[in-house]
Structure 1
Amino acid sequence: MTQSLSKQASLQILARRSAALVTLAFGLSLVAAPAAQAAPLKIGMTFQELNNPYFVTMQKALNDAAASIGATVVVTDAHHDVSKQVSDVEDMLQKKIDILLVNPTDSTGIQSAVTSAKKAGVVVVAVDANANGPVDSFVGSKNYDAGVMACEYLAKSIGGSGEVAILDGIPVVPILERVRGCKAALAKAPGVKLVDTQNGKQERATALSVTENMIQAHPNLKGVFSVNDGGSMGALSAIEASGKDIKLTSVDGAPEAIAAIQKPNSKFVETSAQFPADQVRIALGIALAKKWGANVPKAIPVDVKMIDKSNAKGFSW
């Protein structure tokens, strides 16, 4: 118990420290406004994809935050191609960016680009998923906690007994952590049996097909955990078409998922919501703090929130 309280106190201290750094960073940027007007800061951000409302929300928040300090933004979409992402970063360095926010499609594969950016004197902050190499800081959701939260809810929603499956995704750290958290939660429910784990690739069409196969292979299936809301919408279609009482939980808090949870008698019962706009705002603040000479934490975990029918109304990123 003492260790748990100590860990919680440490996280609270880190959160306060992070908030102070963000305030400091934006304050310093405003103080430096005359110089910035002559040579505005140039911020580059490379996304693993932009065909996703989660990252679209993040991009909008970045644009708004950058505009508030008179900075310019260069944004690229890797389309989940690490070679393209590395090339995109090299192009940004040619454009003389001051700050690089990197949302890696492959944490290991992006390392050479991160190293090049640091050699060029660029501040590098990883967002949502961490990157190998000399990043200055990492800002991301508590993905393990998200998996625990969703699968504890799933176990309870099926009465603590029955067969469940995991709709997995691309093997990047956030997804791996969600699955690890889910399995840890299910292990504490002795009446619940994990009977299948398959990759839905976080895409609606693939997830639909995969979930159909899982339902057919396991006629007694009572629950499914999806690693993201995009895949969960395909899973939901498969569940509804089956006519079976199969509960669904997920991670993200996407608008479409929030709407689905609120429908009468919905099989979609919970999503562990992330906060993409907050992540990128904190990441930019930390990058600015580093740019102006502050010592910054190596990692800043961002809380997730359990959303079900009781609190879904009015929730948004």
Structure 2
Amino acid sequence: MKIRVFPAAFRNTALIAASSAALVAGTSVAAQEPLKIGMSFQELNNEYFVTMQEALESAAESLGAEVITTDARHDVAKQVSDVEDMVQRGIDILLLNPADSVGVETAVLAAKEAGVTTIAIDAQANGPVDGFVGSKNYDAGYKACDYLAQQLDGEGKVALLDGIPVVPILQRIEGCTAALEEYDGIEVVDKQNGRQERTHAMTVTENMLQAHPDLNGLFSVNDIGSLGALIAIEASGQDIKLVSVDGHPEAIEAIKRPDSAFIATSAQYPRDMVRLGLGLGLSKYWGASTAPSEIPIDVSLIDRDKAADFSW
């Protein structure tokens, strides 16, 4: 049986009531004038975001709503252009997954000026957004690195694989650093940007391993980067423990292997995230006064024991 851990946000009765009212209202109006929902992704070359897209399309279909999705490919200028195009096409609700939390503000302002309800998804966006739904990223970093420190018996040298300049990534690094600082015997010896990309993270990890042949542990801000780091670690033959964030299917498979350097990931719930984001967007669009401005979603540490029963 697969584990389905429903986030605490689902127990927010005010949100449930507001979302239910919005869904009812939206469904009745949809028969006359279907809603247009736009979602701008920072990338779609990652199963995490593809899973979000699938969940959004399924939810929108149940509403009879039209969906427009775009892929910024980590280019904030393209993302701004994509959003402006969707606004011109008459979207009612924008779900925005920023490629850059600061640089995307121009897109947020364009949507606001056009009267589009905007909900930031996964990463917060600068500007007048109507709401935000995302994981507890500080907790994700903290849980992964606390587990890493425990598995190292509180001693050793650790390196960090950073990522793009969005709030969740910064929070994961903050949480990880806070956890490691609780162990006097742990020393952070390096931090470099793996760009959350498999190939680049592999190259960066190779360089770190050459610079620190006595490295004991590595934290990556996402699973795709970790999979690249894992290749470098296994090729080096060094005994290094690897932890990460996401819950990506490939990462889960790697964690399952008894001899794997990949020992745990702080799992997110992308389907729940986009469903809650859409619910919040509908609530705001239909004027629900009790809808919250932010919905934080819990994360779960998945180690080898839990990996067999976990999936998005």
**TM-score normalised by L of structure 2:** 0.94
Q: Report the equivalent of 1:308.
A: 303
- In the TM superposition, residue 90 of structure 1 has moved relative to its aligned partner by 0.9
Pairing of 1:137-152 with structure 2 (within 5 A): 137-152=131-146
- In the TM superposition, residue 26 of structure 1 has moved relative to its aligned partner by 4.0
Q: Report the equivalent of 1:255.
A: 249
- Does 2:45 align with 1:51? yes
Q: Name the amino acid aligned to 1:305.
A: S
Q: Name the amino acid aligned to 1:130.
A: Q
- In the TM superposition, residue 20 of structure 1 has moved relative to its aligned partner by 4.0
Q: Distance in 1 between matches of 2:264 and 2:48?
A: 17
Q: Report the equivalent of 1:104.
A: 98
- CA gap of 1:204–1:182, structure 2 versus 1, over 3 A, is same
Q: Name the amino acid aligned to 1:260.
A: A
- In the TM superposition, residue 314 of structure 1 has moved relative to its aligned partner by 2.3
Q: Report the equivalent of 2:292.
A: 297
Superposed CA deviations along residues 73-94 of structure 1, whole A, max 9, x for unmatched, are 0000111111111111111111
C-alpha contact 2:159 2:217 (8 A) present in aligned 1: yes
- In the TM superposition, residue 207 of structure 1 has moved relative to its aligned partner by 1.0
Superposed CA deviations along residues 194-243 of structure 1, whole A, max 9, x for unmatched, are 10111111111111111111111111111000110001011111111111
- In the TM superposition, residue 120 of structure 1 has moved relative to its aligned partner by 1.3
Q: Distance in 2 between matches of 1:221 and 1:92?
A: 47
Q: Residue 155 of structure 1 is aligned with which of 149, 167, 186? A: 149
Q: Report the equivalent of 2:112.
A: 118
- In the TM superposition, residue 21 of structure 1 has moved relative to its aligned partner by 2.2
- In the TM superposition, residue 28 of structure 1 has moved relative to its aligned partner by 3.6
Q: Report the equivalent of 2:32.
A: 38
- Measured on the aligned residues, the alpha-carbon RMSD in Å equals 1.5
Pairing of 1:54-133 with structure 2 (within 5 A): 54-133=48-127
Question: In the comparison of the two structures, how many residue pairs are matched?
Answer: 305
C-alpha contact 2:10 2:16 (8 A) present in aligned 1: no
Q: Which runs of 5+ in 2 are unaligned?
A: 1-6
SS in 2 for 1:144: helix
- Does 2:160 align with 1:192? no
Q: Distance in 1 between matches of 2:189 and 2:227?
A: 21
C-alpha contact 2:101 2:165 (8 A) present in aligned 1: no
Q: Report the equivalent of 1:270.
A: 264
Q: Name the amino acid aligned to 2:311.
A: S
C-alpha contact 2:42 2:72 (8 A) present in aligned 1: yes
SS in 2 for 1:245: coil
Q: Name the amino acid aligned to 2:11.
A: R
Identity %, equivalent residues: 61
**TM-score normalised by L of structure 1:** 0.93
SS in 1 for 2:123: coil
- Does 2:216 align with 1:222? yes
Q: Report the equivalent of 1:212.
A: 206
Q: Report the equivalent of 2:3.
A: none
